[in-house]
């Protein structure tokens, strides 16, 4: 069998990271409005136009910028995954309590097998996502490599958060679609989790590369 070689990424070389003071000439930010979710948090586009920054603001060694950015993304992925565990837990709490309160055909929704099926799926996803986050966090605490564990946690927890929010809306029926209850917000907030800090496709490429030793990034 031929040996498989990981490809080097020449584009990453020569990149340095800088901490840029916001008052630097050439720096500007423009708020991005009209987001589907995360409406309590401002998001802005940052522009760096013909800026000059002193070498004293450089983070780490010259040429290490890409490595530094990727390392901080790895940690960020564990934070995003942990946030997703919170969303899934919120979906579970909301779905369980509503299913116990809401009466249909003289019985609580919780007594219908197909409603329990949805709640069981949310509950299993909550546990699985939490355990993946704990594993990644434990590797960080022990100072061991955690990048692939972070990708797995982020991929699974973010997709699970979208599934959980979707199911929670289903348990609520029509009330799930209006803002009287929180589950529509969980869906709007969950949706970005599969996108930022590396999309689900990127996490799968990272996991696939770790498993096969072949770089499928283009
Ligand atoms: C609310 C919000 C906050 C954000 N905050 C930040 C932030 O703080 N800092 C920051 O840097 N960015 C931030 N982002 C940007 C976010 O990280 C990007 O939107 C995300 O990484 C996807 O990149 P893109 O939008 O350019 O999509 P694209 O790269 O255009 O991707 C579009 C689709 O193509 C797929 N795709 C792209 N490349 C590949 C490939 N090589 N192989 C397979 N599939 C691929 C993607 O998975 C996706 O499905 C934020 C975005 C949002 C919505």
Question: DSSP letters of 63-111?
Answer: T-HHHHHHHHHHHHHHHHHHHHHHHHHHHHHHHHHHHHH-EETTEEGGG
pLDDT score, position 10: 59
Q: How many angstroms separate the CA atoms of 24 and 84, rounded? A: 35
Q: How far is the CA of 58 from the centre of ligand 1 (A)?
A: 25
Ligand 1 pocket check for 43: Cβ under 6 Å: yes
End-to-end CA distance of the chain: 24
- The CATH T-level fold of domain 69-212 is Butyryl-CoA Dehydrogenase, subunit A; domain 3 (1.20.140)
The residue among 150, 96, 148, 103 whose CA lies nearest residue 123 is: 96
The residue among 184, 159, 160 whose CA lies nearest residue 94 is: 184
pLDDT score, position 203: 98
Instruction: Locate the domains of the chain by residue range.
Output: 10-59, 69-212
8 A C-beta contact, residue 91 and residue 168? yes
Strands 58-59 and 27-31 come out as unpaired
pLDDT score, position 21: 86
Q: How far is the CA of 199 from the centre of ligand 1 (A)?
A: 6
pLDDT score, position 110: 98
Residue 182: DSSP 8-state: T
Ligand 1 pocket check for 195: Cβ under 6 Å: yes
Q: How far is the CA of 130 from the centre of ligand 1 (A)?
A: 24
Q: How many angstroms separate the CA atoms of 18 and 32, rounded? A: 24
Q: How many angstroms separate the CA atoms of 200 and 218, rounded? A: 16
Ligand 1 pocket check for 196: Cβ under 6 Å: yes
- Helices 147-172 and 65-101 pack at an angle, to 10 degrees, of 30
pLDDT score, position 189: 98
CA nearest ligand 1 atom 36, residue: 201
CA nearest ligand 1 atom 43, residue: 201
Q: How far is the CA of 194 from the centre of ligand 1 (A)?
A: 9
62 is a catalytic site residue: no
Q: Which of 31, 101, 180, 197 is catalytic?
A: 197
Q: How far is the CA of 39 from the centre of ligand 1 (A)?
A: 19
Task: Write phi, then psi, for 58 (nearest 5 degrees).
Answer: -70, 140
pTM of structure: 0.93
Q: Which of 199, 208, 209 should be mutated for ligand 1, with most atoms under 8 A from CB?
A: 199
The sign of the dihedral angle between the CA atoms of 122, 202, 34, 29 is positive
Ligand 1 pocket check for 217: Cβ under 6 Å: yes
pLDDT score, position 185: 98
Low-confidence ranges of the chain (pLDDT < 50): 1-7
Q: Does domain 10-59 have CATH number 2.40.110.10?
A: yes
Q: Where are the alpha helices (DSSP H) in the chain?
A: 65-101, 113-141, 147-172, 183-191, 200-212
pLDDT score, position 142: 98
Ligand 1 pocket check for 80: Cβ under 6 Å: no
């Amino acid at each position: 069998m031929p040996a498989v070689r990981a490809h080097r990424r020449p584009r990453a070389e020569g990149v340095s990271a800088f901490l840029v003071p916001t008052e630097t000439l050439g720096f500007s930010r423009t708020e991005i409005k009209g987001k589907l979710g995360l409406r309590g948090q401002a998001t802005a586009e940052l522009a760096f136009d013909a800026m000059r920054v002193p070498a004293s603001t450089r983070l780490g060694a010259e040429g290490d910028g890409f490595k530094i950015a990727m390392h901080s993304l790895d940690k960020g992925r564990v934070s995003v995954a942990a946030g997703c565990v919170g969303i899934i837990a919120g979906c579970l709490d909301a779905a369980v309590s509503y299913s116990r309160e809401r009466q249909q055909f003289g019985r609580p929704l919780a007594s219908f097998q197909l409603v329990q099926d949805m709640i069981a799926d949310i509950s299993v996803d909550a546990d699985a996502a939490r355990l993946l986050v704990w594993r990644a966090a434990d590797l960080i605490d022990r100072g061991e490599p955690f990048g692939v564990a972070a990708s797995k946690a982020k991929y699974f927890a973010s997709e699970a958060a979208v599934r959980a929010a979707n199911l929670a809306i289903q348990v609520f029926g029509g009330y799930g679609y209006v803002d009287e209850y929180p589950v529509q917000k969980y869906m709007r907030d969950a949706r970005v989790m599969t996108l930022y800090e590396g999309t689900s496709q990127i996490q799968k490429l990272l996991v696939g590369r770790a498993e096969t030793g072949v770089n499928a990034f283009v």
